[in-house]
């Protein structure tokens, strides 16, 4: 009889985990889109020849993707700190 009256343990909701995965997917899509944006031949080169213009376009794409990855790492670090603070507050 006591088994029927005891409350069932609540199922853990993993809201933070799903939010973290959504952020990772968004950054992955952003990196892929950024890398793809530099594909093809540049059209407005001004006084540069085709090879130099193509090399400059590739370098700009690489710098842009690198900045996205650095931003991704900063956001992941901040999410980890926020999660750690949340866990410490919940425990105490």
DSSP code for 12: P
Mean pLDDT of 58-71: 96
Q: What average pLDDT does range 50-73 have in this prediction? A: 93
Q: Supply the pTM of this predicted model.
A: 0.78
pLDDT at residue 21, as a whole number:
96
User: What is the mean pLDDT of the segment spanning 50-78?
Assistant: 94
In order of 35, 38, 40, the CA distances from 63 in angstroms are 10, 11, 17
- According to the model, what pLDDT value does residue 12 have? 74
Computed from CA positions of residues 51, 57, 59, 65, in that sequence, does the dihedral angle turn out positive or negative?
A: negative
Which pLDDT value is given to residue 1?
A: 52
Classify residue 9 by its DSSP letter: P
Each residue of 4-54: pLDDT tens digit?
A: 666 777 777 788 999 999 999 999 999 999 999 887 777 788 888 888 888
pLDDT of residue 3: 57
Indicate whether 2 pLDDT > 60.
Answer: no
């Amino acid at each position: 009889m006591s088994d029927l009256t005891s409350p069932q343990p609540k199922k853990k909701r993993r809201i933070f985990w799903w939010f973290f995965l959504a952020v990772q997917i968004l950054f992955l899509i952003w990196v892929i889109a950024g890398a793809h944006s530099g594909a093809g031949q540049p059209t407005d080169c001004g006084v540069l020849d085709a090879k130099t213009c193509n090399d400059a376009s590739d370098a700009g794409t690489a710098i842009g993707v690198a900045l996205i990855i650095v931003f991704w790492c900063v956001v992941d670090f901040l999410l980890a700190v926020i999660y750690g603070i949340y866990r410490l507050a919940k425990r105490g």
